[in-house]
Structure 1
């Protein structure tokens, strides 16, 4: 069953384009993912077999509006008494039979429509802190079991195991306040359509706010803690550079590492990082101060979230490029490119368009990728830029992620709810029109994650704008909602004036 050409679009409807006149249709489910078809067409390995009602109805308008690519598909009716909450955790297939009882078509199912209808959730997700406890919340309605492994330190070998309990698709666990500063990962037991197996996926929390080096583990961190705030951080909204109108906006784009990587006026251990922006007398900051005076209003930072392609631990970089050697080659030589290309996968440079976790500052730009430094240093960077008259725009990349599947260390979303967060084609394979692993903002909980992440950066890091990479791959509805949610932020309630947050893409 390598293909998923059926679409469970609501609790009542499965959409299919392979209806046989006078035929019948059955839904098959296997809890252990053992569905097979024999040579004679017999379907084996199922725990559940339910007859569905084949119709000649077209899909209703509200379904076509959400899934326009399914226009022309026919309606298969689902019995009202079916236990869908349990079935979405199974390997599922729809089989079409001829009037003679011959199986003429069998295919897997894509579930986002029914998941949105039955399991949409707008409550807390990630780690939630109170004075009495720390709670974990994970949206994973197709998971059969979820555990959290808690580690006392970034590189601790032996975790302790915490089982999570489910309520309508949201898995929850509660722990002591002493968890703060510890690390965790999830083990999600779930059917994965890319392998046709029940997999035990080890994954970070999609709502992570802190990480260990290279994103190996999620840090349990309360961003409201005073020890994470630079001096006068809570007053930064009152120090924001004046901006009368968005029409006055003038933007200067730069890369965090490029800004200071070769700046001799920056101490060697700070070059290429967040703290280079806090040095008032460096050549780079003097330049930024001059362009601010000349009329530049915003600094656009290329991606600064946790991305793949650069090791967070600088000790692992292979920076062996000899600048004198480069200069010795003729201008038309291919040797320069060959020398740089030899280390391009192991050096410290990458544009950053390889998203792994959207909500955490990139560790390679911090003085220490473990623990709290990346959070504090990112805030100090924002504060320093604002104080020289420059607002800060983040380049956000919500249209794709770096990896998919149950095994890749950089895969996160596709381990939590496989087949949901990533946009799939009519055969069930992940789309790559962005460049890799398209996300599906048409799905409600993908949109929710994007909105929550934008609000997180606006409130917790007080950023002043967002540039959306490949905005055309994000639903217009999502962008309009993002605009409205950001504009609704107020200094009195949120510590941020949302009306001054600039969006473009």
Structure 2
């Protein structure tokens, strides 16, 4: 038997048992109307319920629970409790105002930890509890004591912007706006990396390994002369770096006071607006983590590199212990008819972004990161869990602050909401300013990445050429995308096997040199595609995780950027750098209109393992055959930019075609520009 509050004066009872009005007793309430349809009983009460003081209800003389999940979705609830009042600890040097929202709490007390004092907060009609403390509380640790009718919770502040080590306490801080400007690059190339992985390599002279500060250090190298960290990234030529989670994640995943005792990517959110302390040189100091991250972003901006923050608003580490649920139980997460967590994320809970105050929280959080830290973009983990209205509002609000904001996400189709509400690829046309990871080109190039890991075009799967070419030429008709900038073109990311490891697994008898050629071919396809190319850190030197397809909590040795491998495979790193230069030089790749791309491009061949196309003066040919191939081409003079796993923007060679043929090397990319 399930009892839902659907309006403040209306209940629904779902049961297979027959109920009479006389079987129901609600303390302090009379039932005005009582009727049944399809085993759902509806009760209209004589007055409104107080949701922070729900009455006792008995059916057949047994106590029952009233569930508020359906009420939370109503306009009636929003009209009464939705607020745009600023929440959190609002600091000045003369006073701090604390504000927290909870329609379900009867009382809330502010606990000042350092002073060992407790202050009752005043409740307003919009369910905001507030108190003003008239003294300087800078760096004061605090908690909330939230008192309900039947229990009492101690919680941190969901709007806190800093914390003590390992998220034990929220901390009052005075954050200033980062002294840097937003960047914008027309011809975007994203490089995904982890703070920890980039600077962990033991044989380097980076002083602050696995820290924000470590990535700001310049002129750093290994004992064998390989550049590392910031200098290495700068040399690659990429112009966007996307960091794996740097918000505060669970200390069960990484201990901020003993960082190297455990490894974790950090997709375990605890404090959404707090910087992760394990990346700080001093996690005890609530200001250090803020200043160090701001400094890193400023340094990257000074080197013309934009910064994307990986955000995880789709789930939390532990819903029952999270401040969301400790302060407003069951509001921030999706629950089914039986009041159980919906978990399409596979992470035991899904955040209810469609609830008005949840949506507001997510938008507020992103505005905070954008305005105070000056991030240039946000990557949404499992974005398909979130709803379309939330994503549309996010873009609307953030683009008012930074008109060039880049928003991208994993738009997988995840069954947590009604299909028409999901922020997934199938609804891409409804959020035209948001980009989606294009798993179509990924799987066509390298093969399936889940369960039955398979082969793709570069590993000798037939008949993928035409569909790959559709993806290369902007993904028109692949999904309802409205423009090429909605496609994040990639073949490798932090999830799943690296491209190298997948090739090794699926082609166990392949010669190592041919594995390398196939890998370079896959990366080349991505960099010569319309849309936004995305590169996983280390992809340029054939990164391996030793076959680990989900290294989220594997060792540093598995996850670190192996600069020794980068040194040994320096010729492939150089190849990648030149591809980046070529991509950035030819602004034709920034065309953001399907019709214009159709007019300026021409398909030359898309079968027999050959993918060839012409874009204005560029001729690009990918050959996945084991053998050389004579390719038909118009006579004339051409500059060779890419050939046989070598590349050079200024040209490898100049050729004069007189017999309408050009030789394609096996397992390689050829790029020519008409002289």
Q: Fold-level match, TM-score > 0.5?
A: yes
Q: 1:243 aligns with which of 179, 185, 205?
A: 185
Tell me the residue number matched to 1:161: 118
CA 1:24–1:127: 2 relative to 1, 3 Å? same
Separation (CA, whole Å) in 2 of partners of 1:418 and 1:186? 14
CA distance in structure 2 between the aligned counterparts of 1:10 and 1:173, rounded to whole angstroms:
31
Structure 1 position 271 matched with structure 2 position 209 = yes
For the pair 1:503 / 2:414, whether they are aligned, the reply is no
The Cα offsets for residues 407-462 of structure 1, whole Å up to 9 and x where unpaired, read as x4xx2111001111121111112222211222111211111111100111110111
CA RMSD in angstroms, aligned pairs only:
2.7
SS in 1 for 2:379: strand
* Distance in 2 of aligned mates of 1:265 and 1:271: 9
Q: Which moved more, 1:355-364 or 1:424-433?
A: 424-433
Partner of 1:431: 342
What is the CA deviation profile of residues 215-263 of structure 1, one whole-angstrom value per residue up to 9, with x for unaligned ones? 1111101213xxxx6xxx43x11xx44423xxx3221111111111125
SS at match of 2:33: strand
Q: Give the alignment of 1:129-168 within 5 angstroms.
A: 129-130=91-92, 132-152=94-114, 159-168=116-125
Structure 2 Cα separation of the partners of residues 393 and 417 of structure 1: 31
**What is the correspondence of 1:53-452 to structure 2 with a 5 Å cutoff?**
53-55=33-35, 75-79=42-46, 81-82=47-48, 84=49, 87-92=50-55, 106-111=64-69, 112-113=72-73, 115-130=77-92, 132-152=94-114, 159-168=116-125, 169-191=127-149, 198-224=150-176, 233-234=178-179, 236-237=180-181, 240-244=182-186, 248-268=187-207, 270-282=208-220, 283-291=228-236, 293=237, 296-308=238-250, 309-314=252-257, 316=258, 319=260, 347-370=261-284, 371-405=286-320, 408=321, 411-434=322-345, 435-452=347-364
| CA displacement, residues 108-159 of structure 1 (integer Å, 9 cap, x when unaligned) | 322524643421111110011346421000001111211111133xxxxx61
Q: Deviations over 1:460-480 (max 9, x none)?
A: 111011111111111111111
Instruction: Provide closer, same or farther for how the CA distance between residues 159 and 103 of structure 1 changes in structure 2, counting only shifts above 3 A.
Output: closer
Give the Cα–Cα distance (whole angstroms) in 2 for the partners of residues 26 and 128 of structure 1: 51
How far 1:13 sits from its partner (Å)? 3.6
CA 1:290–1:181: 2 relative to 1, 3 Å: same
| TM-aligned CA distance change 1:281 to 1:502, over 3 Å | farther
Q: Which runs of 5+ in 2 are unaligned?
A: 221-227, 411-675
Deviation, 1:385, is 1.4
- Three-state SS of the structure 2 residue aligned to 1:415 is helix
Alpha-carbon distance in structure 1 between the residues aligned to 2:19 and 2:303: 74
Distance 1:105 1:133, change over 3 A: closer
Shift, 1:105, TM fit: 9.9
Taking the aligned partners of 1:215 and 1:360, their CA distance within structure 2 comes to 9
The structure that has the greater radius of gyration is 2
3-state SS of 1:143 partner? coil
Answer yes or no: is the 8 Å Cα contact 1:414–1:421 preserved in 2: yes
Contiguous gaps of at least 5 residues in structure 1: 30-46, 59-71, 97-101, 153-157, 192-197, 320-346, 490-496
Residue of 6, 12, 32 corresponding to 1:9: 6
Secondary structure of residue in 2 paired with 1:477: helix
After TM superposition, the runs of 4+ consecutive aligned structure 1 residues lying more than 6 A away are 19-22, 25-29
Higher relative contact order (CA 8 A, sep 6+): 1
Secondary structure at the counterpart of residue 395 of structure 1: strand
CA contact (8 A) 2:94 2:136 kept: no
Give secondary structure in 2 for the equivalent of 1:285.
helix
User: 2-side partners of 1:397 and 1:201: how far apart?
Assistant: 25
- Residues 253, 300 of structure 1: 8 Å contact kept: yes
Q: Secondary structure at the match of 2:136?
A: helix
Q: Distance in 2 between matches of 1:159 and 1:498?
A: 46
Please name the residue that 1:463 is paired with.
375
1:188–1:203 CA contact under 8 A, matched in 2:
yes
- Conservation of the 8 A alpha-carbon contact between 1:184 and 1:204: yes
SS in 2 for 1:48: coil
Q: Is the 8 A contact 1:185 1:204 kept in 2?
A: yes
Deviations 1:262-289 (A, max 9, x none): 2543444x10011112112231212110
Using the TM superposition, name which of 169-178 and 127-136 deviates more: 127-136
Q: Is the 8 A contact 2:381 2:409 kept in 1?
A: no
User: Residue 178 of structure 1: CA displacement?
Assistant: 0.9
Measure the CA separation in 1 of the matches of 2:37 and 2:10. Answer: 11
What secondary structure is seen at the aligned counterpart in 1 of 2:201? coil
Give, in angstroms, the shift of residue 56 of structure 1. 5.6
8 A contact 1:28–1:48 mirrored in 2 = no
C-alpha deviations, 1:66-110, integer Å up to 9, x for none? xxxxxx96654343x43x3xx2113556556xxxxx569954322
Is contact 1:311–1:364 with CA below 8 Å preserved after alignment?
yes
